[in-house]
Amino acid sequence: MTDRANSSPGRTGDGIFEIEGQPFTESRALGKMATLIAGVAVGAMIGAGAALLLAPGSGDETRTAIKRRVRKLTKRERGVWKSLAGALAEAANETAARSKLHAAKASAEAAAVRARV
pLDDT tens column, 2-57: 444 444 444 444 545 555 666 656 666 677 788 889 999 999 999 888 887 777 77
Same domain, 43 and 80: no
Q: Are residues 94 and 72 in the same domain?
A: yes
* Interatomic CA distance for residues 93 and 95, integer angstroms: 5
> 47 lies in which domain range?
1-54
Single pTM value for the model: 0.36
Residues 11 and 65 in one domain: no
Residues 39 and 64 in one domain: no
For the chain, what is the domain count? 2
Region class of 71: left (phi > 0), else alpha (psi between -120 and 50), else beta:
alpha
Instruction: Say whether both 49 and 66 belong to one domain.
Output: no
Distance CA 24, CA 40 (A): 24
Q: Are residues 80 and 39 in the same domain?
A: no
Q: Does residue 14 share a domain with residue 50? A: yes
